[in-house]
A = this chain, B = another copy of it.
């Protein structure tokens, strides 16, 4: 049985980690954007790790080394932001190709440094070695007094997302067609930015939160599974940039499909009580309400472009 036939990445992780135990009396949540460990009486540490692999997550033809370095920081900082935390420390493992030019490594680090400076992250160390395929693996810690989990959504909550979605996937799919995307779509794919600019404000009211890394549909599935709720999402309410719509059209798909089934937007997707919406909007957070949380028995429903209900699609799976 290969991983695809088993049911992909999430099923694999579920299958093989079932034997693991918690040996430490930590206030511990696993299976969120980041793990939560109690740090002291007031504060929680959050810990997240991600790996970017050449050919799958990045590509030295499309991206500059500096963009790859910066993206590494943003991907991990986005997980920290999605917990309602501020990033603190970074550990970094680099696998570089033998014979690689030092300038490439320097530029990669320049992107990492730029991200660390912007988000005030301290590099603690790491491991640098060689391999046939480049890889950047980062572990980031953050701190918060109020971690926001995936599990807090309740029926009646609104589902909202910051910024706009689908642009990064539209960019990826355009590259995959052998074309070079432009403007917003290009920038969002090669130079994504996490939403630490608004995450504290959102965390103040969010019941459940996640970042959009594998597509809106996948993230809603995660929140629904952890919170034991259903959800209805209206694809017509997804915030789509005009250039994303144009790129999707050229790809003979829709921007909603790009947003639902592909990720790396690194926007925040969250649920909140309807009463808390006006205050958050008044703070100037760029958000769109895209649906609502339902009782679990009502399942996961997507209203299509025609307003007709249908099943919510799956998100992106690296093994599917």
CA distance A40 to B124 in the complex (A): 18
Would you list 17 pairs from A and B whose C-beta atoms are within 8 A, ordered by A residue? A2-B100, A5-B102, A12-B105, A12-B128, A16-B105, A20-B123, A23-B122, A30-B123, A47-B125, A49-B126, A50-B127, A51-B95, A54-B131, A55-B131, A129-B318, A132-B132, A137-B137
Contact with B along A1-19 (1 / 0, CB 8 A): 1111110010011011101
Q: Is the CB of A28 within 8 A of B124?
A: yes
How many copies the complex holds: the figure is 2
A contact face: mostly helix, strand, loop, or mixed: mixed
The closest CB in chain B to the CB of A92 belongs to B49
Q: Is the CB of B12 within 8 A of A89?
A: no
Stretch of A112-120, A228-236, A276-284 at the chain-chain interface: A112-120
Q: Is the CB of B101 within 8 A of A2?
A: yes
Q: Contact partner of A122 among B24, B57, B109, B113, CB < 8 A? A: B24
Q: Kindly list chain B residues whose C-beta atoms are within 8 Å of the C-beta of A22.
A: 122
Interface check A93, CB cutoff 8 A: yes
CA distance A75 to B142 in the complex (A): 25
CA distance A96 to B319 in the complex (A): 9
Q: Is the CB of A130 within 8 A of B49?
A: no
Q: Is the CB of B16 within 8 A of A116?
A: no
Stretch of A31-39, A157-165, A241-249 at the chain-chain interface: A31-39
Interface check A135, CB cutoff 8 A: yes
Interface check A254, CB cutoff 8 A: no
Interface check A151, CB cutoff 8 A: no
A53-B131 CB under 8 A given contacts A26-B122, A89-B37: yes
CA distance A26 to B124 in the complex (A): 11
CA distance A13 to B6 in the complex (A): 40
What is A's interface to B at a CB cutoff of 8 Å? 1-6, 9, 12-13, 15-17, 19-24, 26, 28, 30-32, 34-35, 37, 39-40, 47-51, 53-57, 88-89, 91-96, 98-103, 105-106, 109, 113, 116-117, 120-133, 135, 137, 139, 141, 318-319
Q: Is the CB of B139 within 8 A of A49?
A: yes
Q: Is the CB of B121 within 8 A of A23?
A: yes
Q: Kindly list chain B residues whose C-beta atoms are within 8 Å of the C-beta of A13.
A: 128
Apart from the given pairs A30-B123, A49-B139, 4 other A-B contacts in the complex at a CB distance below 8 Å: A2-B99, A9-B129, A24-B120, A40-B40
Q: Is the CB of A124 within 8 A of B318?
A: no
A39-B39 CB under 8 A given contacts A12-B102, A116-B20, A127-B49: yes
Q: Which 5 A-B pairs have the closest CB atoms?
A: A35-B124, A53-B131, A137-B137, A139-B139, A51-B93
Q: Kindly list chain B residues whose C-beta atoms are within 8 Å of the C-beta of A129.
A: 9, 51, 53, 56-57, 318
Q: Kindly list chain B residues whose C-beta atoms are within 8 Å of the C-beta of A9.
A: 128-129
* Most chain B Cβ neighbours within 10 Å, of A19, A50, A103, A125: A125
Q: How far is the CB of A215 from chain B (nearest CB, A)?
A: 15
